[in-house]
Chains A and B, each alone.
Chain A
Amino acid sequence: MTTRRTPVFFAVLCLAPALLGLVVFRLYPIALAVSDSLFNVVRGDTIFVGIGNYLALAADTTFWKSLQVTLWFNLLMNPIQIALALGLALLYVQKFRGITLYRVLFLIPIGVSLPTAVIIWRIMLTPDGLVNGLLNVAGLPAQPWLTSEGLALYSIIAIATWKGISYWMIFIVGGLQNISPEIYDAARIDGARAWQRLVYITVPLLRPTLLFVLVADVSINFLLFAPIFMLTQGGPADSTNVLMYEAYKSGFIFGDMGRAMAIIVVLVLLLLLIVGLQFRLLSRRTEAAS
């Protein structure tokens, strides 16, 4: 075992394609984003502008409004998704006759892609669609779900949540199955109630899983694109204009790649900052608890 020598040629042959792919299509684009953000294209000529694009962003009210929308959107959506995914996972792991059917039904949105979910929900949310029809049964007035400034963002959150929570549930179910049942038995003997077992046993032991889900969920939602592109294109009145969409619009509609790349760089840095903070805050507490 220890005397095994590395066959250099064979090892390189195995590693090269994957590593080359990751370097060219993952690492290099990041470097390119940073360098492209330092240039502007004016009448076909590429001109070095230094941090000009970033300075322009700092003075740009559209950018600040878009940043505000992005942060508010994520501040709401991520905690909601994780709380619901946790609740769903707790239901998923229960054992009783007939649970298998419910489990399959809980998993349905995983097979539905986000654009598919968006198309179905768009028709469900039209003024004379199914949702307003059901509201009508309950005696409630029809709502302009996707066309009003006050509601569109929340409709998008609801659609993304419908699509997302089953996926996150899978990870939490995995975490729950790693908790040994004896701990619960001991707690039950000590007279701990169901909610006490949840707060004092399940959640602390689940913390590494929840941290992973939180980080992965935030990363995806921070860069959410398809629902905004397909449903509102940032409107009405920029109320759903998240930074990812603003970057796309800048680069691919207005042809301003320098600004688009500057927004992407800011967005990814912001995401790294938030993820770093989450790691610090949440993994520290794990140490304190143990």
Chain B
Amino acid sequence: MKRGAALGLRHLAYIAIAFVFVLPLWWAIVSSLRPNSEVFADLFPFTPKALIPVPFSLEAYSGILDQGFGLIIANTLLVAVVTVIAGIVVNGAAGFAFALFDFKGKGLVLAFVIVSFMLPFEAIALPLYSVTLQLGWVDNIAALIVPSVANGLAVFLFYQFFRQVPSDYLEAAQIDGATWFDILWRIYVPLSIPTCISAGLLLFVFQWEAFLWPLLAMPSQQFKVIQVGMAAFQQQYQTFWNQLFAVAVVTALIPIVLLLPLQRYYVQGLSSAGIKG
């Protein structure tokens, strides 16, 4: 009897906390499925009806398509996917070299790589604008992609992984006379697929969530990415509540759909960073 009560209490506590996390997203989903005039219905006085999508309407979603959010999402996916592919190649190669080769000053260079990811991107966003100005990349999509490709955390993830690959593989390949490129491509790359996924997810989420940088680098907003497009939409159409919710829901759902099945890799990538620190 007493145990049952304790069990019930425990579930109650977990439900209360989960409720705080779920409620905003749930209300956003529900409200995005209502006509705009009904978003604030049932709140004063509050009735549980506020938390079900009745009356039901998809007008918000067709509305955001008319506002050009299809293109904005495609833009963001383009930026993110190119960054992920280039990032895996560039950072993977660097991680490989750090793990397998010794050279003078390696410790120092590696320390620089690690420090570079401890300093948040926001700290350099404003001066990075000056760099972009010097390169003539303002309002150019290159400004969104190129500075984000080299990533200290991704280099570090690959370095950590490649370092623990047994050297037997390497020695056998060298006896067979394989070139270094073959060794990297045929042996190390296939082994490192989980690390590629971890690093790829980190880069994808970084680009999907980028806000300050695209805001600065694309002043004319000819090429919009999702977070900035959403913020601009919010400022312009303060009272299109259901469409704002629809944009927020789509913006949240795309990475969630990607992260849910690959959650393990993402968490692994993050916690490797934590262990080092």
Interface residues of A (CB under 8 A from B): 1, 4, 6-7, 10-11, 13-15, 17-22, 24-30, 32-33, 36, 88, 91, 96, 98-99, 102, 105-117, 119-124, 128-130, 132-134, 136-137, 162, 166-167, 170-171, 174-175, 208-209, 211-213, 215-216, 219-220, 223-226, 229-230, 244, 247-248, 251-252, 257, 260-261, 264, 267-268, 271
> What is the number of contacts between chain A and chain B, taking CB atoms within 8 Å?
249
**Nearest opposing residue in chain A for B219, CB measure:** A252
Supposing A19-B94, A226-B212 touch, asked if A36 and B120 sit within 8 A by C-beta, the answer is: no
Q: Is the CB of A119 within 8 A of B130?
A: no
The 6 closest A-B pairs by CB, nearest first: A21-B150, A212-B277, A133-B43, A18-B94, A111-B256, A223-B122
The number of chain B residues touching the other chain, given as a range, is 35 or more
Assuming the contacts A14-B93, A123-B245, A170-B270, asked whether A128 and B123 have C-beta atoms less than 8 A apart, the reply is: no
Q: In the complex, how many angstroms separate the beta carbon of A141 from the nearest chain B beta carbon? A: 12
Contact of A29 with B231 at beta-carbon distance under 8 Å, contacts A107-B263, A128-B43 already known: no
Q: Chain B contacts of A174 at CB under 8 A?
A: 267, 271, 274-275
Chain A residues whose C-beta falls within 8 Å of the C-beta of B27 in the assembled complex: 120, 124, 130
Cβ–Cβ < 8 Å partners of A30 in chain B: 123-124, 127
Q: Are B14 and A91 in contact (CB under 8 A)?
A: yes
A30-B124, A119-B247 known; A22+B46 contact, CB < 8 A: no
Given contacts A1-B171, A26-B150, A128-B43, 19 further A-B contacts (CB under 8 A): A11-B103, A18-B155, A22-B116, A29-B130, A33-B126, A108-B25, A111-B252, A111-B255, A115-B211, A119-B248, A120-B24, A129-B40, A130-B50, A137-B45, A162-B21, A171-B270, A220-B122, A248-B126, A257-B130
Q: With A10-B181, A120-B24, A128-B44 given, is the CB distance from A21 to B231 under 8 Å?
A: no
Known interface pairs A115-B211, A123-B245, A128-B40. Does A20 touch B97 (Cβ–Cβ under 8 Å)? no
- The distance in angstroms between the C-alpha atoms of A29 and B116, with both chains bound, is 12
Which residue in A91, A121, A216 is a CB contact (below 8 Å) of B277? A216
Question: Quick check: B252 and A116 within 8 Å, CB to CB?
Answer: yes
21 A-B pairs, CB-CB below 8 angstroms? A6-B101, A10-B97, A15-B97, A21-B90, A25-B146, A30-B127, A88-B17, A102-B17, A108-B256, A112-B256, A113-B227, A123-B241, A128-B44, A133-B44, A133-B50, A209-B274, A223-B122, A224-B122, A248-B126, A251-B126, A261-B127
Closest to A13 in B: B93
Interface residues in chain B, defined as those with a beta carbon under 8 Å from any beta carbon in chain A? 7, 10-11, 13-14, 17-18, 20-25, 27-28, 31, 39-40, 43-46, 50, 90-91, 93-94, 96-98, 100-103, 109, 112-113, 116, 118-120, 122-124, 126-131, 146-147, 149-150, 152, 155, 167, 170-171, 180-181, 184, 208-209, 211-212, 215-216, 227, 230-231, 234-235, 241, 244-245, 247-248, 251-252, 255-256, 259-260, 263, 267, 270-271, 274-275, 277
